[in-house]
Amino acid sequence: MSFFKKLKDKISGKPDETTEKYKEGLEKTRTSFTSKVNDLIARYRKVDEDFFEELEDLLLQADVGFETVMDLMDDLRFEVQRKNVKDTEGIQSVISQKLVDIYRGGEEADSSLNIQEDGLTVLLFVGVNGVGKTTTIGKLARRFIEEGKTVMLAAGDTFRAGAIDQLQVWGDRVGAEVIRQAEGSDPAAVMYDAIRAAKNRKADILICDTAGRLQNKVNLMNELQKVHRVISREIPGAPHETLLALDATTGQNALIQAETFKEVTDVTGIVLTKLDGTAKGGIVLAIRNKLGIPVKLVGLGEGMDDLQPFDAERYVYGLFAEGLEQEDAEEGGE
């Protein structure tokens, strides 16, 4: 059974609404990357070293990352030799399978959020300005509220002009109470107030915004450590997730940000925003393979429902949708 057939079976035999969002959200990457892969396959009837070298260049252009590409090419060469693949027919399916394998790193990566069924869940968001952090917090709050949960927001980005008001606008829009202090206040004090308020109101989820001033890494580290201490003192085991928001359109720069934030705080998951706005969607694989941090949420559009839990199979479907649909059509015609 081909990889595409297995993938089709895994997504319940037909593309659902979420799968379609992945397909639409990855259109730019698919148009840029997959169409070039198809052209490459059409030009090369035989799988040889020239084919591998051109494929390597295409993967690098999609921002899969040098180390990840080298790992992938080694795996592909081994798989082609193991299966005695001589021509390029069916090679796209092998590539797709290897992309999923590389993301998983040999294990099933858990992309689910660590939500506490009993008691308050605290989600801490980190990330530099301009990556869509506040918008993501608002959309995630709406998703939880639609699930029937009581959500509160903590405006901990107290130094950026307008950040508190921006979060307040989202809170008003989705129906989540925002705990805030004056601009320039101590972020840890905001977190303390927010946790006390969330406990008193018996909230289910508290989502905390923070500053992201990477240009002063020592201050940022001290600030985040203080925030962590306050949260964990009030709720043992919290924060239950520390989510790093990254802008997918920045490509390798997003990977550098991830490496830096990993140095200053315990990042448990990545939220990759604006994936629909880039042709370099391969950054998902680079982040996972190089840093070992799972991507937990992806932004696949500007709509309120376009923030989706990350799914490796649907991601690869989004990259190779036309190949899957063409294979389906060929099978249906037999």
Distance between CA atoms of 292 and 87, rounded to whole angstroms?
Answer: 34
The reply to whether 158 and 301 lie within a common domain is yes
CA gap 121, 175 in Å, rounded: 18
Distance CA 233, CA 186 (A): 17
Whether residue 273 lies inside any domain: the answer is yes
**Residues 71 and 8 reside in one and the same domain:** yes
Q: Are residues 36 and 182 in the same domain?
A: no
> Is the residue at 227 inside a domain?
yes
Q: Is residue 244 located within the same domain as residue 280?
A: yes
133 is known to lie in a ligand binding site: yes
Binned at pLDDT 50, 70 and 90, residue 4 comes out as: low
Q: How many CB atoms lie within 10 A of CB 309?
A: 14
274 is in an annotated binding site: yes
What is the pLDDT at residue 36? 86
Alpha-carbon dihedral sign for residues 152, 156, 162, 164: positive
- The verdict on whether residue 278 carries a ligand-binding annotation is no
Residue 241 is predicted with a pLDDT of 97
* Shared-domain flag, residues 156 and 285: yes
Answer yes or no: are the C-beta atoms of 102 and 59 closer than 8 Å.
no
What does the buried/exposed string (b/e) look like for 154-173 if buried means 16 or more CB atoms within 10 Å of the residue's CB?
A: bbbbbeeeebbebbbebbee
114 in a domain, yes or no? no
pLDDT tens figures, 217-276: 888 889 999 999 999 999 999 999 999 999 999 988 999 999 999 988 999 999 999 999
pLDDT of residue 254: 92
What is the CATH classification number for the domain harbouring 75? 1.20.120.140
Q: Are residues 245 and 271 in the same domain?
A: yes
Domain hosting 157: range is 121-310
> Which of 262, 265, 264 lies closest to 239 in space, CA to CA?
265
| C-alpha–C-alpha distance, residues 11 and 254, integer Å | 29
**Phi, psi for 103 (deg, rounded to 5):** -60, -45
Question: Is 188 part of any domain?
Answer: yes
Residue 129 among known ligand-binding residues:
yes
88, 139: one domain: no
Residues 42 and 175 grouped into a single domain: no
130 is in an annotated binding site: yes
Pairwise pLDDT comparison (323 vs 296), residue with the higher score? 296
Residues 170 and 195 in one domain: yes
200: domain CATH number is 3.40.50.300
Kindly report the pTM of this predicted structure. 0.90
Residues 188, 203 within the same domain: yes
In a domain? residue 115: no
Task: Give the tens place of pLDDT for each residue, 166-225.
Answer: 999 999 999 999 999 999 999 999 999 999 999 999 999 999 999 887 777 888 889 999
* Alpha helices for 120-216 (secondary structure H): 133-146, 163-174, 187-200
Is 253 known as a binding-site position? no
Contact 332, 322 (CB under 8 A): no
Is 289 contained in some domain?
Answer: yes
The pLDDT assigned to 95 comes to 85
Per-residue model confidence as pLDDT tens digits over 95-121 = 888 888 888 775 556 789 999 999 999
134 annotated as ligand-binding: yes
Is position 275 annotated in a ligand binding site?
Answer: yes
Task: Establish whether 222 is an annotated binding residue.
Answer: no
The answer to the question of whether 276 is labelled as a binding residue is: yes
Cβ-based neighbour number of residue 325 at 10 Å: 15
Report the domain count for the chain: 2
171, 298: one domain: yes
* 77 and 203 within one domain: no
Instruction: Please report, to the nearest 10 degrees, the dihedral formed by the alpha carbons of residues 45, 50, 56, 59 taken in order.
Output: -40
Contact predicate 131/273, CB 8 Å: yes
- Does 173 belong to an annotated binding site? no
Which pLDDT does position 65 carry in this prediction? Answer: 85
184-222: string of b/e by CB count within 10 Å (b at 16+)?
A: ebebbebbbebbeebeeeebbbbbbbbbbeeeeeeebee
